Amino acid sequence: MSGAVTGCMPRYALKIEYEGGPFNGWQRQAEGQLTVQGAVEAALARLEPGPHTIAAAGRTDAGVHALGQVAHCDLAKAWDPFRLSGAINAHLRPHPVSVVACTIVPDDFHARFSALERGYLFRLVTRRPPVTHDRGLVWQVGHELDIEAMRKGATHLIGHHDFTTFRSATCQAASPVKTLDEVVITECDYPEGREYRFSLRARSFLHNQVRSIVGTLERVGAGSWTPEQVGEALAAKTRAACGPVCPPQGLYLTGVRYPTDPFAE
């Protein structure tokens, strides 16, 4: 995706990571509300005075983290990408957000509309003592989970479906129909407990879709739901059939795939 710039203003793609805890989500909001978009745009304004608007691949909610958010911006000056990322990061301090890669892209590149797929990770920890080092970074429950039951429940969600049950009542998407390409659930040791990781891939997601799915699968793992009830909830096409929506702090936007990786070079 890197290459010559055809427009009069160079366009840059930014790969951004952040801890979502201090932010009121990605999207810029009313003055006084700290958001990731607002912080990055304010940093850009320190480099080139004037208003800046950046577009991102996904609008993460308050408390949600990112390992590979992608955004693009247009600047009047032709910057060396390495120097630009360093300059932005200097003005982002002390916020827990960092531009980890930067590249020049063609002016028809769009962080949101050019994307082919988004990936999300949800971290769930089961243990009795409160977590300390991962506080605010995982969802903790105090009971054991059956991973095979959760995997069976997840199979009902793979493919092209009406996900009305698993989207927020305030979701603004034009259609509840989405294709969920993959749900992979793995487990590993965690100090005094276990960690379960839910990895989901799709071209796009509905508002609260991942958190609704993980919250429902947790009920399956806990034994409160059978795996078959996940399919029944999906078929019901009503928000009332959804399991609990899990909290945001365990959710990470892990990456975005494009026809050509803009950061490959």
Sequence-separated contacts (24+) of 33-41 with Cβ below 8 Å = 34/95, 36/60, 36/66, 36/69, 36/97, 37/71, 39/92, 39/95, 39/97, 40/14, 40/16, 40/71, 40/88, 40/92, 40/97, 40/99
Measured CA to CA in angstroms, residue 263 lies from 53, 70, 225, 245 at distances of: 21, 10, 43, 34
Q: Of 98, 114, 95, nearest to 106 (Cα)?
A: 114
pLDDT for 150:
98
pLDDT for 263:
95
Which H helix or E strand runs over 140? strand 139-141
Residues of the chain with CATH 3.30.70.580: 11-114
| Helix spans in the chain (H) | 36-47, 81-92, 147-155, 209-222, 227-236
**Separation of alpha carbons 13 and 229, rounded Å:** 42
* DSSP bridge partners of 6: none
**Separation of alpha carbons 6 and 9, rounded Å:** 8
Residues of the chain with CATH 3.30.70.660: 117-254
pLDDT for 126:
98
**85 within 8 A of 247, measured Cβ to Cβ:** no
**Catalytic residue positions?**
61
Place of tokens 């009902």: 156
- CATH pick for 11-114 out of 3.40.47.10, 2.40.170.20, 3.30.70.580, 3.40.50.1370: 3.30.70.580
**15 within 8 A of 68, measured Cβ to Cβ:** yes
**Separation of alpha carbons 25 and 34, rounded Å:** 8
**173 within 8 A of 207, measured Cβ to Cβ:** yes
pLDDT for 221:
98
**Separation of alpha carbons 162 and 214, rounded Å:** 17
- CATH pick for 117-254 out of 3.30.565.10, 3.40.190.10, 3.40.50.1000, 3.30.70.660: 3.30.70.660
pLDDT for 146:
98
Q: Of 226, 228, 167, nearest to 202 (Cα)?
A: 167
**Separation of alpha carbons 184 and 81, rounded Å:** 35
Question: What is the model's pTM?
Answer: 0.93
**193 within 8 A of 183, measured Cβ to Cβ:** no
pLDDT for 3:
43
Q: With a cut of 50, which residues of the chain have pLDDT below it? A: 1-6
Question: What angle, 0 to 180 degrees and rounded to 10, lies between the N-to-C axes of helices 81-92 and 36-47?
Answer: 120
